[in-house]
Amino acid sequence: MKYKILLLDNDVYACKYLCAIIRSLNKMVENNIFEIAFCTSAAQAIYQCINSQHSPDILLVDMELNDISGIRVIEEIRSRSDSIGIIGITSYP
């Protein structure tokens, strides 16, 4: 089984870096169990999470976005779905 991971961060460079890390970890486990994608738009992430055709198994969400807070993104997704694992991330101490 492949786990679909969606990464949401408003910083495209952070997205690319974190995706690269996950891809390198993916090579260490057998059968490449992760499929990773990213987006920089909260609206796009919410849409992908509630649309069953594109729904990830895991959402990594930056808690401080430009247009909306990560908490608000999580609330919006949770109000429509409880099947996605959500991990909040931040670069602040």
Measured CA to CA in angstroms, residue 34 lies from 2, 76, 78 at distances of: 5, 25, 23
pLDDT of residue 83: 92
Whole-model pTM: value is 0.89
**In this structure, what are the phi and psi dihedrals at residue 64, rounded to the nearest 5 degrees?**
-125, 95
Q: What is the pLDDT along the chain (93 residues), one digit of tens a residue?
A: 789 999 999 999 999 999 999 888 888 876 678 889 999 999 999 999 998 787 999 999 999 998 899 999 999 999 998 999 999 998 876
pLDDT of residue 25: 85
